Structure formats: structure tokens, C-alpha cells
Chains A and B, each alone.
Chain A
Amino acid sequence: MIRVNITSVFVDDQAKALAFYTEKLGFIKKTDEPAGGARWLTVVSPADPDGVELLLEPDGHPAAGPFKQALVADGIPFTQFAVDDVFAEVERLKGLGVEFTQDATDLGPVVTAVFDDTCGNLIQLATMK
């Protein structure tokens, strides 16, 4: 049976990304190993520490920069995280200085919001009703 064990975000600085993803978003560090000049650096949700890992992948490949910039210019979040209550999470993260390009918005079957992860990505928060 095939299943997802890891997914990744391209980050411009792994140390900065680890700080943001753990201290502000609330992930916990799972793996941190040297790997060819960079780190194999993953975080997981405290709600599911044995679940899908998020790899904080360096964006050094020449295609990664233009890809990320084009998505951000149109406001497109390439990655989505689930939360219990988008409205409450937006307030919590704004209190920590996180910048949103889309406030909590009720779209019918789902409530979403979009924030800047400070590492070059927009991330969508979602609560399915």
C-alpha cells in the first residue's frame, strides 16, 4: 500500500525556517542530519509525531527561485496545513507577527487563510466544515 511519508517546502534558509516552523507554527523537529552541504531537516505536527514529515528543503536549485516568486506574485499557496479553527489560528499567528495575504475566509465547505512563511512561500490554512 503506497502512502505519503514526507512532503517538502523550498526554504531560503534552513535555520530560519526551522525557527519559524517550530517557534511560530508549532511543529516539532523530527530529523536533522547533515546531507551534502545542507541538512536533512524535517518537522512533524505534535498532533501526529509519527505521521507525515515536512522536509525543509533548501531552494538553491536555479528553478526554485523563479517558481516560488511566480506563485507568491499571484498569491498562490503551494502547501496547505489543517487546523481546527482557522479564525483562531489566524489571530494567534498575527499576534506572533505572521503576515497574511488572505484573512480567514468562509468559502462554504471550507474556511481558509493564507500566510507568508518568511522563507519564500505562501501557506494555506484550512478547516473543513
Chain B
Amino acid sequence: MDADPDLFKAIGDATRRTILDELTDKDGQTLFEICGRLTMKHGLASSRQAISQHLAVLEQAGLVRTRRQGRYKFHHIDTSPLRSIVERWPIDREEPNP
């Protein structure tokens, strides 16, 4: 039984990984800014509706949280669900350089 199907589905898509990259670059973006960055910086010609659906998948996995401020809606990255990956498959401490 896999405990994190939403998480692995969410990070299994290149566009969604790029969205997370851009939110890492600057946290707290409107849908418009995310679409602009994907188009202008990455040449991704997805529709606004498609990006909105990608954001919904990321939100379902807990990797993106939305915040309403007045009439605006901002998207924030939350990397904490990724911790379950290294808890499941611990990363060995790096060998010290000889």
C-alpha cells in the first residue's frame, strides 16, 4: 500500500516540476504570473486552464498552498511533503573527503 500516491503523481510531470521551480525562485505568485513565467522563460504553451489543473494536482499533494489576500489569490510552495520521501528511503550521510 503506497501512502503517497498524490505526491508521486504530482512530481511525476515536467510542467508541474517547473511550476515548483518557479515558486522556489519567487514564492507567492498569481495564476497569471505563473503562466507568464512558464510561457516566457520556459516556452511552455499550456493554456491557463491546463496550468490551473496542474496547480490543483500540486495543491492536492500538499506541495502548493493558496492564500487569498483581498481580491487576489496567491500560490505558495510547501516542500514539507517531500520529507516523507527521504524518511522512506533515507539518504546516507556523504563520506567525508579523504
Contact = CB atoms under 8 A, between A and B. Distances in A.
Interface in A101-129: 101-103, 105, 107-110, 112, 114, 122
Given A69-B71, A101-B72, A74 B32 contact: yes
B91 interface: no
A114 B74 CA distance: 13
A107 B32 contact: no
B37 A107 contact: yes
9 contacts: A75-B30, A75-B32, A101-B72, A102-B33, A107-B36, A107-B41, A108-B40, A108-B41, A109-B40
B26 interface: yes
Contacts of B74: 101
Given A102-B29, A107-B41, A108-B41, A73 B73 contact: yes
Interface residues of A, number: 18
A62 B41 CA distance: 37
Given A74-B73, A101-B30, A114-B33, 15 more contacts: A73-B71, A74-B30, A74-B31, A74-B32, A74-B48, A75-B30, A76-B31, A76-B32, A101-B74, A102-B30, A102-B33, A103-B26, A105-B33, A108-B40, A112-B36
Interface string B32-45: 11001100110000
Interface string B16-30: 000000000010011
Contacts of B33: 75, 101-102, 105, 114
Nearest to B39: A107
